[in-house]
């Protein structure tokens, strides 16, 4: 997985502060930022935008990511036009499969081999369909969710906080949790303060709303 912050609003903290100060016709001051975030006045946060280049992630992840609709834009690699029959498609292997004990087998094969065989079978089917003249946009139907993809994401800071609330939660799936963690690290390089507010929902609620809690925060 590769995550790059390719551009962003210059001085994002100041952009937010200036927008917030305009609401009350007050003098822009640094302390306004903490005040509006902690008070829940988040509209000015939308004046800071971050653009990420993301690659080496699965289509399973991007299907989850693009469900975020407000305050975000996506431009994803097209499987209709990108062919995978030369070098083959790259794929993501979940840790639960990669690290599965090899002495546990199904019909003599460990989880790693079963998974790899499935990827190889999908690749072979894809290539055969292409050779038969099936259009790329239709041959892609055999490609798995594990298939790697690249995607550009433009997201304002308000939406990024909302994304972090859900996807930094320990109950989120491992891959998208890692992605948002890396997005947070990238934001930290340009604004440690803004990165500091990218927290799971238990941070904001001071409780865990999940049915199955990780145990780090009291559910009450």
pLDDT band at 84 (very low <50, low <70, confident <90, very high): confident
pTM to 2 decimals? 0.90
Tell whether the model's pLDDT for residue 220 goes beyond 70.
no
Write out the residue range of the structural domain in which residue 132 sits.
Answer: 95-142
**Which of the residues 140, 167, 177, 207 is marked catalytic?**
167
- Are residues 152 and 135 part of one domain? no
- Are residues 67 and 12 part of one domain? yes
Total domains in the fold of the chain: 2
Is residue 215 assigned to a domain? no
Is residue 187 assigned to a domain? yes
- Are residues 151 and 51 part of one domain? yes
Q: Is 207 a catalytic residue?
A: no
Is residue 20 assigned to a domain? yes
Please state, in angstroms and rounded to a whole number, the distance separating the CA atoms of residues 190 and 13.
10
- Overall average pLDDT of the 180-196 stretch: 97
Contact between residue 22 and residue 136 where contact means Cβ atoms under 8 Å apart: no
* Backbone dihedral angles phi then psi of residue 8, each to the nearest 5 degrees: -165, 165
- Overall average pLDDT of the 62-88 stretch: 90
Within 8 A by CB and 6+ apart from 121, the residues are: none
The DSSP result for 17-66, as a single string, is: HHHHHHHHT----THHHHHHHHHT--GGGGG-EEEEEEEEEEHHHHHHHT
- Are residues 155 and 53 part of one domain? yes
- Are residues 130 and 46 part of one domain? no
């Amino acid at each position: 997985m590769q995550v790059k912050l390719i551009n962003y609003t210059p001085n994002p903290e100041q952009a937010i502060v200036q927008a917030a100060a305009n609401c009350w016709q007050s003098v822009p001051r640094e302390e306004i930022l903490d005040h509006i975030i902690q008070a829940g006045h988040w509209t000015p946060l939308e004046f800071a935008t971050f653009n990420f280049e993301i690659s080496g992630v699965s289509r399973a992840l991007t299907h989850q990511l693009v469900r975020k609709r407000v305050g975000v834009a996506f431009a994803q690699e097209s499987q209709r036009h990108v062919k995978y029959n030369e070098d083959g498609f790259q794929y993501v292997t979940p840790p639960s499969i990669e690290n599965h004990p090899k002495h546990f087998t199904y019909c003599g094969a460990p989880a790693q081999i079963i998974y790899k065989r499935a990827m190889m079978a999908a690749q072979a089917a894809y290539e055969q369909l292409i050779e038969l003249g099936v259009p790329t946009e239709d041959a892609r139907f055999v490609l798995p969710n594990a298939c790697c993809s690249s995607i550009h994401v433009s997201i304002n800071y308000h939406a990024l906080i909302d994304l972090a609330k859900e996807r930094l939660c320990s109950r989120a799936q491992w891959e998208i949790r890692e992605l948002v963690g890396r997005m947070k690290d990238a934001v930290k390089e340009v604004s440690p303060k803004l990165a500091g507010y990218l927290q799971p929902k238990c941070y904001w609620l001071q409780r865990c709303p999940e049915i199955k809690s990780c145990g780090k925060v009291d559910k009450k």
